[in-house]
Chain A
Amino acid sequence: MTPHLPPPCLICEGLERYLGEEESRVHVLRGVSLTLEPGLVHAVVGPSGCGKSTLLYLLGLLDHPDAGSITIDEVPVASLSDEDLSATRNERLGFIFQFHFLLQDFTAAENVMIPMRRLGRARMEEMRARAEFLLDAVGLGAKVDRPSRHLSGGEQQRVAIARALANDPRVILADEPTGNLDTSNSERIFSLLTTLVRENEKALLLVTHNPEIAERCDWVHEMKDGVIFESRPGLRAPGSAPS
């Protein structure tokens, strides 16, 4: 009897994307396909300009592919309205940017609560409690009410990570999430994310230049010139053979 496999969190097939107009038009993605299964961490690595961030924006439903399809939680997104795409982003996707992109007029907790407010499913006290919990998890339990502009770059990045987890999304998309963090915080955040993904049947797609981080992921996808030319298990992923 075949064991029951949970459906993939995200599938993309044959994604094509051009950027620019006329003579400056560049074929950035050339038929990229990926499947993010629940409980697994994927890394995308490759040189600058190879299309990693463009892929991430497409999977994050912030951009539209010129060809190909994206399915999130078994729902093809191509036919969704802006309203439904926004709802999917809010509820199912957590985005961590290379630069933290916090709202500067808000405190750390308020930043984390912004996606929760949009979802509107929890009471204010519940949202506040979850924000405090997430900020504590990223090591900012003592700074929940500090205005984000008064936090250091690394602290702001950690608030952004807590914010991406606010609505407990199925898919986490991260563009160099630990790029601005020191080694210990980088380790702490990576551990937090991978634990969260593995224990809660989520999927994490990580764009990184850090080979140490990439090899600790379950899958490593190597990209060049808009194509994933190799997908392999991470060398130091849990369960992989020691190198």
Chain B
Amino acid sequence: MIPPTLYIATRFIVSRKRSLILSMLGVVCGVGFFICTQAQTQGFEKYFIQSVLGTSGAVVISDRFQPRYTQFSGTSSADMVASSGQNARKYYEGITDPYRLMRVARSFSNVLGAAPIIRGSVSIASSFQSEVLRLEGIDMRYHLGATALREQIISGSIDGFGAQPSAIILGWMLADKLQVRVGDNVTVTAPTGTRTFKVVALSRSGINIIDETRGYINLGVAQSLLGKPSSASVITLRLRDPGRAPELAAHLERLFSHRARSWQERERGNLALFSTLKISAGITVSLIILLAGFGIFNVLTLTVLEKLREIAILRSMGYRRWDISAIFLWQGLIIATFGSLFGCGLGALLTFLVSLIPINLRGVIFATHFVVDWNVYHYLYGSAIAFVAVLVATFFPAQRAATVPPVDILRGSGQ
């Protein structure tokens, strides 16, 4: 048997259909909009993070630095750096023994893969025009385990790439600018000379600044072209839990005496932007839910005023103060429950519809449609906010109802 207070609450609420629908509509819209906006902002953020992780890795180990101590005697003053405070460090470009560091790095349980990369800026030319190329020399044996390059290939093939010294993979936007396709030849001009490469594949990372400047060739060829034999510019690490990248980066930095930067540190600016957008959307939608809460507060306050006589009758029949409160709290709970359920449905529908909207995003990231994130937590958070707002809005009318002195109402009531 359902509790008598729930039974009475249900009847009270059903008898006021218009108020019920209006109250619930506010909650439904609030929850639905919350889910939809979170799905969008989170969608773009996650897409960006995945692109960053897949392209540059969760942790990037780069230049070696001198241990932080002051040298009191010895070598020439040109090698010295004034040691004032924490930031005084002298960096030596690149990593001289990348494979040894990679072996040590892979011994950490969080590290899934590690790959050396040598970087340099060169010029690339097709028969159509020339462009600046941010060249990355990669060791394909390790690179595919540390990045998402295989998934980023949109045309051509990277099979056998390691055995082709003249193979080059180009970012699809750079290829577009150069007007080259898979199978075409390009000329790369570096300080050590000029060399011709054959485009074997095009990649799309999703981050425009990368796709319009980057090209990959074999590590050994790049070392020779850039005049940096047997060294790497960076080691990129793929992690099991990218969320713990800052801790690992700090640890590796101390261990290796090489600069190690997590993706969170490298992309701080962009992440702050996404975070701000998310908060901004969250505030906007929370205001809608708050507004719905005010609506419910008004409706329930009016209900209490309208039901004063019923409250007094119930009290005369032995219903306790708490029972009277419970009748109104149940009404809030019913509105919150069904409002959240329908709100989740609306949120899912809106999210789906939004994901179909075509866009032509060519900024920080590349996207042809709205990127949405299907995350159960959005539904839980949206519902939780609605429950809190509705229950707070219900609490005061419920308290008021409980404290109504029945005799005052009965004394003043007549037909």
- The listed residue with most A CB atoms (<10 A of its CB), out of B1, B15, B410, is B410
Interface residue B7 (Cβ < 8 Å from any Cβ of A): yes
Q: What's the minimum C-beta distance from A164 to chain B, rounded to whole angstroms?
A: 9
Q: Does A95 contact B (CB under 8 A)?
A: yes
Spot the interface stretch: A1-9, A33-41, A117-125: A117-125
Q: Is A62 touching B406 in the complex (CB atoms < 8 A)?
A: yes
CB-based nearest B residue for A119:
B318
B405 proximity list for chain A (CB < 8 A): 63
- Report the minimal beta-carbon distance from A143 to chain B, rounded to whole angstroms: 19
The number of residues on chain A lying at the interface, defined by a beta carbon within 8 Å of a beta carbon of chain B, is 36
Tell me if A101 is interfacial: C-beta within 8 Å of chain B: yes
CB of B321 within 8 Å of the partner chain = yes
**A103 within 8 Å of B (CB atoms):** yes
Task: Chain A residues near B11: list those with CB within 8 A.
Answer: 103, 105-106, 110
A-contacting residues, B1-57, CB 8 Å: 1, 4, 7-8, 11-12, 14-15
A-side interface residues toward B, CB under 8 Å? 53, 57, 60, 62-63, 82-83, 86-91, 93, 95, 97-99, 101-106, 110, 114-115, 117-120, 123-124, 153, 163, 167
Extra pairs beyond A62-B407, A86-B319 (19, CB < 8 Å): A57-B410, A60-B316, A62-B315, A62-B316, A83-B322, A86-B321, A89-B315, A90-B317, A90-B319, A95-B316, A97-B313, A99-B415, A101-B316, A101-B410, A115-B318, A118-B4, A118-B317, A119-B318, A120-B4
Chain A residue, CB-CB nearest to B13: A105
Q: Which residues of B contact A105 (CB under 8 A)?
A: 11-12, 14-15
- Assuming the contacts A62-B410, A97-B410, A103-B310, asked whether A90 and B415 have C-beta atoms less than 8 A apart, the reply is no
Partner of A83, one of B14, B320, B410: B320
Closest residue on chain A to residue B16 by CB atoms: A105
A179 to chain B minimum Cβ distance, whole angstroms, is 11
By a CB distance below 8 angstroms, the chain A residues around B414 are 98-99
Interface of B: prevailing SS? helix
Q: Are A114 and B415 in contact (CB under 8 A)?
A: no
Are A117 and B4 within 8 A (Cβ)? Answer: yes
Neighbour of B411 across the interface among A53, A82, A153, CB < 8 A: A53
Task: Count how many chain B residues have C-beta atoms less than 8 Å from C-beta atoms of the other chain.
Answer: 30
- Is B129's beta carbon under 8 Å from chain A? no
**Max chain B Cβ within 10 angstroms of own Cβ: one of A83, A104, A114, A153:** A114
Query: Residue A91 contacts which of B4, B318, B319, B320 (CB distance < 8 angstroms)?
Result: B318
A63, A89, A118, A123 — most chain B CB neighbours (10 Å): A118
Contact across chains for B407 and A115 when beta carbons are under 8 A apart = no
| From A82, A88, A95, A103, residue with most partner B Cβ within 10 Å | A103
A114 to B315, CA, bound (A): 11
Shortest distance from the beta carbon of A86 to any chain B beta carbon, whole Å? 4
What residues of chain B lie closer than 8 Å to A117, measured between beta carbons?
Answer: 1, 4, 7
Q: Which of chain B's residues have a CB closer than 8 A to the CB of A91?
A: 318
Across the interface, which residues of B come within 8 angstroms of A153, CB to CB?
415
Asked if B313 and A101 sit within 8 Å, CB to CB, the answer is yes
A120 to B321, CA, bound (A): 17
Which one, A83, A88, A93, A114, contacts B314 given CB within 8 A?
A114
Inter-chain contacts of A110 with B (CB < 8 A): 11
B312 to chain A, nearest CB (A): 8
Chain A residue at minimum C-beta to C-beta distance from B317 = A115
Residues of B within 8 A of A95 (CB): 316-317
